[in-house]
Amino acid sequence: MELSNKVRQQLLAFQENEITEYHIYKRLAEKMQDTENGKILNQIAEDELGHYEDWKKYTGEDVKPNKWAIWKYYIISRVFGFTFGVKLMERGEKSAQVNYDEIREYIPEIDNWIEDENEHENSLLNMLDEERLQYAGSVVLGLNDALVELTGALAGLTLALQNVELIALSGLITGIAASLSMAASEYLATRSEKTDKHPIRAAIYTGIAYIFTVAILITPYLLFDNYFLDLALALTSGVIIIAVFNYYISVAQDESFKDRFLEMAGLSLSVAAFSFGIGYLIRIFLNIEI
């Protein structure tokens, strides 16, 4: 049966996507030669090439890969981790709106074909083992504690002290001390658990996540003299950090973004609001002026 022009264009788009993903997986695999992850990525690459050839049987044409997409997802994978990069790429593919009704007229088995392809691909992707995701729990611990504790502390200090320099100084001392404490706690906790995680690495991930969050939240107090504006910017920065991190985890670990984001954001902002009130009451009852 001769393909209609519309169906042909859809199949050519499938071909382009498959050959593009082949080159992305192949480039990533080359960076991880002689590793289990490299073997898995190579296998997925060969599967993608096979899918390209399957579509080609119907179109009878060769298609060039999308070079921009190759570089984009390759760089994302190198910077943010290959698990995040390839799953972000696959998520974008699945979200594309495709009308299969017209294609079924020419390829009746397309639904089973696509389903089998996705199941096989997902099973391989779930076999990938990346260090930064092994320690995601340690990063969550550092980020969450820093956001909850420091947003609360800054909110209380803002109303109690009403001096940006004192607030920044107090926040930095509190944040640095807390980051060292959290890193030490994570080291001891990981050491006592029977896991594959290395205690020192877990402590480093927790400490770095904490310090990074502290630096972002304190920065407004070092730039602007209006402490209420600084607090608003710090809280906004906290929500952005929560959103970015939870989006990363939702993609890399196939978890719900909305649930995780609302939980962390709600907890941090609730503690900040409560601490803000505590700072106000302390200032009134102790009658302290600075």
Q: What is the pLDDT of residue 71?
A: 92
Q: List, for the chain, all residue ranges whose pLDDT scores fall below the cut of 50.
A: none
Backbone dihedral angles phi then psi of residue 62, each to the nearest 5 degrees: -95, 145
Which pLDDT value is given to residue 129? 66
Model pLDDT for residues 137-178, shown as the tens digit of each residue: 777 777 777 877 787 778 777 777 778 888 888 888 888 888
3-state secondary structure of 135: coil
Burial class (CB in 10 A: 0-12, 13-18, 19+), 20: buried
> pLDDT at position 282, please?
67
φ/ψ of residue 2, rounded to 5: -75, 135
Residue 68 confidence (pLDDT) = 92
Locate the domains of the chain by residue range.
Answer: 5-129, 132-286
Q: Cα separation of 221 and 263, whole Å?
A: 26
The per-residue pLDDT for 80 is 80
Both tokens of residue 24? Answer: 């992305």
